[in-house]
Amino acid sequence: MSARELISEVKLTVTPNDRLSEIIPKMRETNSWTAPVVKGKVLVGLLSYKDLLSRRVSLDSKVSSVMSPTVSLLDNSDFTKIIGKFYTTKARVIPVIDNKGNLKGEITRESIIRYLLEQKKVPDNEKTRKYMSSPPKVISQSESIAKVRWIMLRDKISRLPVVEDNKLVGIVSVRDVVNTLYSVIDKKKSSIMTEEERIMATCVKEIMKYPVITAKANESLKGALEKMLDKNVSGLPIMEGEQIVGVLSGVDVINAVSESMQLSIPIDAKIPMIIRKNSELKAEIDAIVERYLAKLEKISDIITFKVSFKEEKSAKQGEGSVYMATVRAVTKEGEFVAKDSDRDPVVAVKRAVEKIESRIIRNLKKIEDKNNKKDKAEKT
C-alpha cells in the first residue's frame, strides 16, 4: 500500500497572490476544508479553515498572509509512513507531492478510514465507547460566537456539540464560524468593525446545525465509522440515552490504529535515571517534545528526532545538578542540533527544542528566498 493508492484529486488549489474574497466562497462551494497553495505546480503552503479562524484578516488580504507551511507526503510513501504522519500532525488532509515538490493530490482522514474498513482492520466487536474522546467539549446555545472561536483555538478542535439543559441541541463547526465571520462583504470600511462586533456577539444558536448525526456508546465502531463516511461528517457526538458522553472523530481512530501497529513518534530520548524515576517530570518532558515535534512535522519532514540529557554538577556549591539538554533533528533539508542547560530539565529541553524550531524555520525561509530569486532571474 502506497500513497498513490489512497490519493484523491485536489478540489481546489490557490496561489499566494489570490485574494481571500475570491477563495473563501470557492472553499464553501467545493466543500473544501483546505486548499493547497502552489507556485506553478510546486506546493508552497496550505490554506485551511483553522488558519482563517486564528488569523482574522481583511477579505482583501492575499492568501500568503494567512497560509501555513504544510506537511506533505511523497507519492511513494508506504502506509506506515502515511498513518504515522497523520498520527503526529493530527492533520485532516495532507497534500501528496513527487520528489520535485510538485503537487500530485491529497490524502484525507476519510480515505484512510475507508481503507481500514475495506481491509477489515476495524474489529467488528469493538464499541465506540472505547475509542471516543471523553468527557466531550461542549458549549451552550446561548454562548457567543466569540466564545466558540476561543474554545476551538484553545483546544485545537473543529467541532463543538451544543447543549441546553444537558441535552444535545445542535453542533457548530470551524467552517460555520469562519463562513459567518467572513460574511462581511461589500460594506464600507467604517461599518465593518461594527458588523464584526455584532457577529462575534451573536449566539451560537443562530449558526449551529440541527438535527445532529450521532452514534450510541454501545454502537459498533465499524457502524459509527461507516455512518461518518456515509453522512460526510468528521466526527460524531456519542450518546447514552439523551446524554452526550463523548465525541468520536477520525483522529481517535487513527490514534488507535497507530497504537495497534505499534507506531511511535520518531523520538529517541536518553533521560537520566533521576528524571525517569519522577513520572510527573518525565511526562512533562515527553509532552513538550511531542508538542514541538507535531509543530515541526507541519513545516518539514522529520526523519529522526533525538533528545538527550547530561546531568552535571553545578559550579556553585550547594546548588545541585544542572541538566544539559541536546536536541538533534534530521529533516529532508539537513541536520539541526541545539543545546541548552538549566537546573530544571523541563526548561532546558523546552529552550533547546525552541532553538531547533527557530533554526528550521530560518532555513526554510532561506530556501524560499533563494527559490524566489531564481524564479525572478528566470523571468528576466
CATH number, domain of 326, equals: 3.30.160.100
User: Residue 352: inside a domain, yes or no?
Assistant: yes
Maximum average pLDDT range among 60-64, 68-72, 303-307: 60-64
pLDDT at 265: 44
Phi, psi (deg, nearest 5) at residue 98? -90, -175
Whether the pLDDT of residue 266 is over 50: the answer is no
User: Residue 141: inside a domain, yes or no?
Assistant: yes
- Specify whether 254 is located in the same domain as 271: no
pLDDT at 260: 64
Q: Which of 377, 310, 299 is nearest to 332 (CA)?
A: 299
Residue given cell 496561489 in the structure block? 15
User: Residue 234: inside a domain, yes or no?
Assistant: yes
- Specify whether 191 is located in the same domain as 302: no
Answer with the one of 236, 259, 282 that is the final residue of a domain: 259
Whether the pLDDT of residue 192 is over 60: the answer is no
Q: Are 92 and 84 in contact (CB under 8 A)?
A: no
Q: How many domains does the chain have?
A: 3
CATH number, residue 12? 3.10.580.10
- Specify whether 253 is located in the same domain as 274: no
Q: What is the pLDDT of residues 284-318, one digit of tens each?
A: 777 787 778 777 877 777 777 888 888 776 556 55
C-alpha torsion 352→353→358→361, nearest 10: 150
Q: Please list, in sequence order, all residues whose beta carbon lies within 8 angstroms of the beta carbon of residue 309, skipping any fewer than 6 positions away.
A: 270, 271, 272, 275, 323, 324, 325, 326, 345, 348, 349
Q: Considering only 91-95, 165-169, 259-263, which range has the smallest mean pLDDT?
A: 259-263
pLDDT at 295: 78
- Specify whether 159 is located in the same domain as 250: yes
Q: What is the pLDDT of residues 50-60, one digit of tens each?
A: 889 887 778 88
DSSP state letter for 258? H
- Specify whether 357 is located in the same domain as 277: yes
Rounded CA-CA distance 14/25 in Å is: 13
pLDDT at 313: 67
- Specify whether 255 is located in the same domain as 133: yes
Higher pLDDT, 270 or 181: 181
Whether the pLDDT of residue 22 is over 90: the answer is yes
Please give the average per-residue pLDDT across 308-337, as a whole number.
78
- Specify whether 100 is located in the same domain as 50: yes
Which range of residues forms the domain containing residue 217?
Answer: 128-259
Q: How confident is the model at residue 193 (pLDDT cuts 50, 70, 90)?
A: low
Q: How confident is the model at residue 274 (pLDDT cuts 50, 70, 90)?
A: low
Q: How confident is the model at residue 155 (pLDDT cuts 50, 70, 90)?
A: confident
Q: Which of 304, 297, 355 is nearest to 326 (CA)?
A: 355
- Specify whether 23 is located in the same domain as 66: yes
Please give the average per-residue pLDDT across 335-359, as a whole number.
90
Rounded CA-CA distance 34/335 in Å is: 30
pLDDT at 188: 47
Q: Are 235 and 248 in contact (CB under 8 A)?
A: yes
| Percentage of the residues of the chain whose pLDDT score is greater than 90 | 40
Q: What is the pLDDT of residues 207-233, one digit of tens each?
A: 999 999 999 999 999 999 999 999 999
Q: Are 35 and 103 in contact (CB under 8 A)?
A: no
Please give the average per-residue pLDDT across 236-243, as a whole number.
93
Maximum average pLDDT range among 26-35, 69-78, 275-284, 301-310: 26-35
